Amino acid sequence: MKFWTISTLVALTLMTGTAGQAEAKGCIKGAVVGGVAGHMAHHGVAGAVGGCVVGHHMASVKAKQDAAAKAAAEQPTTASPK
């Protein structure tokens, strides 16, 4: 069982290692929360990996929403003539 866990972690590390540090937003916080929750269910590593994935997804969704809000705020408003 440890062999498969370690193999999976190594594979995930190699796949995400090329993404860079800027792409890891939300991963650390999600991994901590997922690791604690997974530890309670005796699956700490799986919880940490899942938490990292969810945390990264939530951070990227928030970044897209922030960018859209910023773009909308920067657009000039035009008054319609009456």
Buried b vs exposed e over 57-66: b needs ≥16 C-beta within 10 Å?
eebeeeeeee
The answer to whether residue 19 scores a pLDDT higher than 80 is no
Amino acid sitting at position 20: G
- The predicted model gives 3-29 an average pLDDT of 66
> What pLDDT, on the 0 to 100 scale, is given for residue 15?
62
Backbone angles phi, psi at 43, to 5 degrees: -140, 55
Amino acid sitting at position 81: P
Confidence of residue 38 (pLDDT cuts 50, 70, 90): confident
The answer to whether residue 82 scores a pLDDT higher than 90 is no
For Cα atoms 15, 34, 25, give the angle at the middle one, nearest 5 degrees.
Answer: 55
- The predicted model gives 18-27 an average pLDDT of 61
8-state DSSP, 18: T
pTM confidence score: 0.57
